[in-house]
Amino acid sequence: MNNPGKASLPVIKRLPKYYRYLRTLKNDGITSISSRELAAQMGTTASQVRQDFNCIGDVNGRQGIGYSVENLLSILEHLLFGNGDLLPTILIGCGRLGKAVSRFITTDTNGYKLIAAFDNSPSEVGKEINGIQILHVDELEAFCAEHKPEVAVFCVPRSGAEELSGRLVELGIKGFWNFSHYDLSVPYPEVVVENVHLGDSLMSLGYRLRNQD
């Protein structure tokens, strides 16, 4: 296939894991790896590894040698992080969860740059979160017009999520890291949404513990 723009969601969701493994291999001084070895380490199959790599670019393994770790890493780095440009990101909702998860951006970047944080609680507005002053949500329109953020880390209660997400889409937000229980992608199919539904995740775990053979 070899068209990263058309890769399916399950393939895209596996790419960060490949990236993490390959980084470990590189740090350990390993320069090449077969699809079989990689699959064994990742708990998948060699055939899936080959299919996944086939989607993302010119990643030919060589018979008897395997894939070049360096080459795979450089392709994945480009796909996941672009040319090193960081996606301008705002945090919406500075409660305990918002504060905790935004550290995945402020500490590790992961390809993003946190440029502002918003809350509607008087007890939070004006405080700092990792060096960024928390603004009132009423300032969203003015801020977005000037700074053009592209991504929102969305950590608000369900009650406010519908109205706020609509405003954010209007203001040009293209991607949501969505921790709210509001299913954004139904009303806004054009935006990219990565849902992290922690309550759902706990319920799935419970199901498997209680019912699976």
Map residues 92-111 to x or -, x wherever contact with its own copies holds by CB under 8 A. Answer: ----xx-xxx-xxx--x-xx
CA distances from 180 to 57, 89, 175 (A): 34, 17, 14
- 98 marked ligand binding residue: yes
* Residue choice 135, 154, 177, 180 for contact with its own copies (CB under 8 A): 177
- 1 near its own copies, judged by CB under 8 A: no
Element (H, E) at 35: helix 35-42
- 43 near its own copies, judged by CB under 8 A: yes
Sign of CA dihedral 20, 25, 28, 31: negative
CA distances from 196 to 111, 158, 199 (A): 18, 14, 9
Closest by CA to 51, choosing from 77, 76, 87, 14, is: 14
Taking the complex as a whole, the smallest distance from the CB of residue 195 to its own copies amounts, in Å, to 9
Q: Which residues contact 69 (CB under 8 A, 6 or more apart)?
A: 22, 25, 26, 30, 31, 32, 33
Which part of the chain contacts its own copies (CB under 8 A), choosing from 29-37, 61-69, 80-88, 137-145?
Answer: 80-88
Which part of the chain contacts its own copies (CB under 8 A), choosing from 29-37, 62-70, 131-139, 172-180?
Answer: 172-180
Give binding residues for NAD(+) as ranges. Answer: 93-98
List of residues contacting its own copies (CB under 8 A)? 4-7, 12-13, 15-17, 19-20, 41-43, 79-82, 87, 96-97, 99-101, 103-105, 108, 110-112, 150-151, 174-175, 177, 181, 183, 185-186, 192, 194, 196-213
